[in-house]
Amino acid sequence: MTSKLKRRSFALMTLLFALLFLAVPQMSDAHLLFTTQENYANTALGIIIGDKVTTPLRSNMGGNNGQTITPFINGDGQLRIAITLYTWGQGDILNLYAPGDPSLWTQPENWEPPLDESEISLQNTRDLTIVGKFLYGIDYDEAKVTCMEVKKAAGKETYEDTGLSYTYVPQTPGYEAHGEALFFYGGSLYGLFTEAYKPWEGGAYSLNRLIKLDGNLTKQDELELKGKNIESGTPGAYALVGKKLFVTSLGGVQSYAGALNPESQIEVVDLGTMETTPLVTAQDMNDKDPTFSHMLFAIAAANGKIYVQAVQWGTEKYNIRIYETTEEKLVQKDLTLLKEFTGVGWRAGLVHDPSTKALWAAVGSSLWRYDYNGKSWKEFDKDDLQGDISAFAVLATPEGHGGEPTQPGHKGDSGGGCDAGFGWLALLALLPAATLRRRS
């Protein structure tokens, strides 16, 4: 090869690597939506892009500390964001947004007004998941799962109740049931439920339950779990890794002032066999480290690692720890302390942004971003966020399960209800895990 050809080849290779580098999302591309709140009426929406915080995109949205933020791809392949606002004693308000081009995401006028704003039948929504044209949700107050269908007319897009629902009935006499989490896997929906007896008066919890549902919200299977009380208001209370469901539980009523909840634990459910295995408890952690009097609050899977957030609420300050481990080490109860925080505030949670190789953690009144490749931490405090953090979600590769290949029917129709097309969607379970994403 002549020197001229070598120079041309080198130039082409340099260009190729430059293009590949640009194609890989950098930390500056990180997007995180969040809400802050100081009182019932002043919920505000903000966004973090890279190291820049833009807030408020919307203010005085209403709703109590019970919001969910759910980015998803609708049946037409379009990005949508659903934000639910808790209203105490009546249906939540669902705000639906079409954020459009990313260049518009920091402009408040892009978020006002919402694409749709309507009351739904859920009360204190804890989780939403999209399946084609259908948006399923679960609520805390009534332990209910509902199915909503997209309607498009005159340039409007709304999600309307189909009339299908499932309500969990507590198995323990005298206890109240609560819906905690909902997700789609392998052609079925799965709901996590808790049972509580006067928890605000120092009462008790019974064992959590996992309910498997079809698209018409008919129960297919049920599993009693090992843990008690899932803090589902915390992003990352559970993580789905392939067919493995990792669930954190608090071990009963939340503990304060350094009291140990020995039964707080992480367990893993095999969704193929509907069997659960306890992995590590707070008592296990305390046996190795007597300073551990925390509850196992949140879990996230990222980069072949498992990250665990443990929370200790004090009378004046919190102590929050984040541990790093692997699936193999977790079985051996082997967790390594990654970072410890002490301060004032009440929020916890973990979410993973695979597009930027980042882990987001809510810690008290701050959001922290951990670049697990560069091993660096970045804090966005209450002043940056202009309020106390309430809800947050990664705005990267949104969760979604594709469009429906058939026209679904409704309850009583020959179309088979909300589960029309579920068989086709179940084929997604056969795709490599890297092609799908489910929030941690």
CA gap 430, 201 in Å, rounded: 47
Select the more confidently predicted residue: 254 or 27: 254
pLDDT grade for 29, boundaries at 50, 70 and 90: low
- Start-end of H helices in 220-332: 282-288, 327-331
**Range 99-108, long-range pairs (CB < 8 A, 24+ positions):** 99/395, 102/31, 105/31, 105/47, 105/49, 105/395, 106/47, 106/49, 106/52, 106/54, 106/57, 108/56, 108/57, 108/58
Average pLDDT over residues 426-440: 37
Average pLDDT over residues 10-29: 36
Through-space distance between the first and last CA atoms of the chain, rounded to whole angstroms: 52
Q: DSSP states of 219-232 as a string?
A: EEEEEE-S-----T
Write down the pLDDT at residue 153: 85
pLDDT grade for 415, boundaries at 50, 70 and 90: very low
Q: Which domains does the chain have, with CATH numbers?
A: 32-435 (2.130.10.10)
Q: Which residues pair with 72 in a beta bridge?
A: 80, 399
Write down the pLDDT at residue 428: 41
Please give the distance of CA 315 from its chain centroid, rounded to a whole number: 28
The token pair at 270 is 């095999």
Residue 245 carries which DSSP code? E
Whether 182 shows a pLDDT value over 80: the answer reads yes
Write down the pLDDT at residue 194: 98
Cα–Cα separations (whole angstroms), residue 166 to 13, 139, 189, 367, 397: 57, 11, 11, 35, 29
Of the listed ranges 34-43, 144-153, 261-270, 275-284, the least confidently predicted one is 34-43
Whether 439 shows a pLDDT value over 90: the answer reads no
Whether 426 shows a pLDDT value over 70: the answer reads no
Average pLDDT over residues 13-40: 54
Whether 427 shows a pLDDT value over 90: the answer reads no
Closest C-alpha to 439, from 372, 381, 391: 391
Whether 269 shows a pLDDT value over 80: the answer reads yes
C-beta of residue 163 within 8 angstroms of C-beta of residue 110: no
What b-and-e string marks burial along 356-381, b requiring 16 or more CB atoms within 10 Å of the CB? bbbbbbbbbbbbbbbebeeeeeeebe
